[in-house]
């Protein structure tokens, strides 16, 4: 039987895998994580997939005690799915929580090294599996798509003053104590921009961010949820966030000099 939500964790991290219509990929991804023998537990967060992904997740959980499933009433977005997983990891006392896509694009073989990097440096809030640092690569993407991702990340880095080359990356290992220090109830991002939102919050809270080079592969089965509207929405939010941050910086400077101006 699947482990209940009240059972104490036995792994070093909870790997959260959000799913919506990923029946063609989920079994292989779950088994690759389990085959690492890296003391990791898995939580599949399914948004009532009409293709039977949730039922498949239940069968995997019934076969393997390290797998559990969280069923949600409907499709609420990637951000909400991960926040649900974060909450579960913190309630159960896991020291870390991992974001992992169900489509097979994230190299599970890199996960032990990412966990080692997180555990080795207490100042880190997150280790990001990065495509755009030296050593990182992307397989089976068109030159245009690579250019779009690089340009979007460069824009986010410049607009938000973030020391991160791949702030849109969805392959991450978080320290749960860092997540617990953030006002996660205020996170309303649902889609592509959720990763950028979390990066901003960790950086502003003073937590270290490390990027680990990975080989990212395009999915071979199923349908991508990414589209141009999602990308444009993310860039629009980055623009708004960037303008707000600059305005706040200007206001802080004005407040700092105001007493001196009044004293003249």
Domain positions in the chain are: 13-258
CA–CA distance from 37 to each of 86, 108, 147, 169 (Å)? Answer: 22, 11, 36, 25
Q: Is the pLDDT of residue 264 over 70?
A: no
Work out the pLDDT band at 68, boundaries 50, 70, 90: very high
CATH 3.30.300.30 fits domain 13-258: no
Q: What is the pLDDT of residues 175-219, one digit of tens each?
A: 999 999 999 999 988 777 899 999 999 999 999 999 999 999 986
Q: Is the pLDDT of residue 94 over 80?
A: yes
Q: Is the pLDDT of residue 9 over 70?
A: no
**Amino acid 244: pLDDT:** 87
Q: What is the pLDDT of residues 104-118, one digit of tens each?
A: 999 999 999 999 999
Average pLDDT over the chain, rounded to an integer: 89
pTM here is 0.88
The stretch 127-149 carries a mean pLDDT of 93
Q: Is the pLDDT of residue 146 over 60?
A: yes
**Amino acid 236: pLDDT:** 84
**Amino acid 112: pLDDT:** 97
**Amino acid 5: pLDDT:** 46
């Amino acid at each position: 039987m699947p482990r209940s939500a009240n059972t104490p964790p036995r792994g070093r991290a909870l790997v959260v895998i959000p799913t919506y219509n990923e029946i063609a990929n989920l079994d292989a991804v779950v088994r690759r994580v389990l085959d690492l023998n890296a003391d990791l537990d898995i939580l599949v967060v399914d948004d009532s997939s009409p293709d039977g992904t949730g039922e498949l997740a239940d069968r995997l959980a019934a076969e393997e005690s390290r797998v559990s499933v969280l069923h949600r009433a409907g499709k609420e977005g990637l951000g909400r799915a991960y926040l649900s997983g974060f909450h579960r990891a913190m309630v159960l006392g896991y020291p870390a929580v991992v974001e992992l896509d169900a489509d097979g694009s994230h190299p599970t073989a890199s996960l032990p090294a990412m966990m080692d990097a997180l555990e080795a440096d207490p100042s880190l809030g997150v280790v990001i599996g990065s495509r755009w640092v030296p050593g990182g690569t992307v397989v089976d993407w068109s030159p245009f798509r690579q250019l779009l991702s690089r340009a979007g990340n460069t824009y986010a880095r410049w607009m938000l003053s973030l020391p991160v080359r791949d702030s849109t990356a969805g392959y991450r290992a978080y320290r749960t104590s860092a997540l617990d220090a953030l006002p996660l109830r205020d996170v309303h991002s649902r889609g592509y921009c959720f990763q950028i939102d979390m990066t901003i919050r960790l950086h502003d809270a003073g937590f270290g961010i490390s990027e680990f080079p990975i080989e990212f592969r395009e999915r071979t089965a199923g349908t991508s949820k990414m589209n141009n509207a999602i990308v444009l929405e993310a860039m629009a939010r980055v623009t708004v966030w960037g303008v707000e941050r600059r305005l706040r910086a200007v206001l802080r400077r004005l407040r700092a000099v105001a007493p001196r101006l009044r004293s003249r």
